[in-house]
Structure 1
Amino acid sequence: MNREILFIQGGGGSADHEADAKLVHSLREALGASYRVHYPLLPNESAPDFGRKNQIGRALSRLQGRIILVAHSLGASMLLKYLSESEVDQEITGIFLLATPFWSGKEDWKQALKLQEDFADKLPEQVPVFLYYCRDDAEIPYDHLLRYRQRLPRATVRELARGGHQFNEDLSLVAADIKTL
């Protein structure tokens, strides 16, 4: 029986989907045939959150059984938003977040992306959370990881010296962690 993984892309549209497809390919290769990785295209919509909460909900509703969630960049922050603000019927067995931005500030465009102050308390209990960050990420500043570390003290944090925002297109470390579940 295959284990189900939902991978949520960073950014939006086909260009970001294509860029993250290399991450998905690496994950599939490292996990092998006993895992099925679902990778839906999430286009930017005109909604303030780019439509991500609804898109993530629809993608999750198509899966059954125990589900592992993996998300990159904007997708990771929106996955946290979805999980902390929505009713989730599926059994989530692990949450793996890569290069996750922590939205803050008073700009209007950021308001729909920001997490609620108590978001960590609303995540599924007993579900392991993993945070991955490359120190040479030129897109997501290191202090974003530090904020998540403070808010999610139970999370396992994996800091890599190199890999940039796209983790050198190598998610073998993520796959190794997934296999521990």
Structure 2
Amino acid sequence: MSGTGNPIQILFIQGGGEGTHDAWDDKLVASLQAALGPGYEVLYPRMPDEDDPGFRTWSTAIAAEIARLAPGAILVGHSVGGTIAIHTLAKRPALLRDLAAVFLLAAPYVGDGGWPSDEIDVAPGWASGLSAVPVILYKGDADDTTPMAHADLYARDIPHAKLRRLNGRDHQFNNDLTDIAGDIRQA
């Protein structure tokens, strides 16, 4: 718990796709909250237009959610939510000020070698401002949604990031975020 006795806030940004908030990522949030226990509060806002995640719309929503967090909060982004969150933070480094860490779960990489995007501009050095906060990348080796190489591309662009490969985990981490909860407790 934080020094004030309040629980540490975890902002969980969902992935994209119709029904993701209520039928997929809600299981990840439940697993994370159960594994972390009462000293943590997992916040799980519904992203706008989840079936068609646009960078501008989601980035605005994510920035607003971050602005409401207490100092020492942790951001966890899953899938495309993680992609949009990390690029939002890179474009608006002032948002990093009060974050203790950023955890990206199976986030698709956008840019050369990854997936194309008309909305996210990935210029050389795009991640340079992220060095102000620890970044931990997670990728399951049974994920058939985003290639393993995407995690390596993030690790290349964010040199201080730690990359954890989890054996037997799919894109939804088999609905078990116990490992990630353990790392959050260390953040």
TM-score (norm 1): 0.89
Matches within 5 A, 1:3-82: 3-12=8-17, 15-18=19-22, 19-44=24-49, 48-49=54-55, 51-82=57-88
Q: 1:98 to 1:10 in 2, by over 3 A?
A: same
Contact kept in structure 2, 1:64 and 1:90, CA below 8 Å:
no
- Equivalent position amino acid for 2:180 in 1: V
Question: Does the CA contact (< 8 Å) of 1:135 and 1:162 recur in 2?
Answer: yes
Q: Distance in 2 between matches of 1:57 and 1:98?
A: 19
Q: 1:104 is paired with a residue of what secondary structure? A: coil
User: For residues 78-157 of structure 1, what are the structure 2 equivalents within 5 Å?
Assistant: 78-86=84-92, 87-88=94-95, 90-104=97-111, 110-125=117-132, 127-157=133-163
In 1, distance between residues paired with 2:109 and 2:96?
A: 26
> Judging changes above 3 Å, is the alpha-carbon distance between structure 1 residues 85 and 152 closer, same or farther for their aligned structure 2 residues?
same
Residues 79 and 48 (structure 1 numbering): CA distance in 2 closer, same or farther, change over 3 Å? closer
Q: In structure 2, the residue corresponding to 1:158 is in which secondary structure?
A: strand
Q: CA deviation at 1:170?
A: 0.4
Note the alpha carbon deviations across 1:126-160, whole angstroms, 9 max, x for none. x2110000111111011111111211221111101
Shift of 1:31: 0.3
Percentage of matched positions with identical amino acids: 36
* TM-score of the aligned structures, taking structure 2 as reference length: 0.86
Which string of whole-angstrom CA distances, capped at 9 and with x for unpartnered residues, describes residues 9-41 of structure 1? Answer: 01155x111210100000000000000110000
Q: Indicate how the Cα distance of structure 1 residues 16 and 149 shifts in structure 2: closer, same or farther if over 3 A, else same.
A: same
Amino acid at match of 1:66: G
| Rounded Cα–Cα distance in structure 1 between residues aligned with 2:169 and 2:178 | 12
Structure 2 runs not aligned, ≥5 long: 1-5
Give the 4+ runs in structure 1 shifted more than 4 A.
Answer: 45-48
Structure 2 contact 100–134 (Cα < 8 Å) conserved: yes
| CA–CA separation in structure 1 for the residues paired with 2:70 and 2:182 | 23
Amino acid at match of 2:87: K
Alignment size in residue pairs = 176
What stretches of structure 1 of length at least 5 have no aligned partner? Answer: none
How far is 1:74 from its partner? 0.2
The answer for the alignment partner of 2:3 in structure 1 is: none
Question: Take 1:43 and 1:26, find their aligned partners in 2: how far apart are those partners?
Answer: 23
Relative to structure 2, which stretch is displaced further, 4-13 or 91-100? 4-13
Candidates 176, 179, 182, aligned match of 1:173: 179
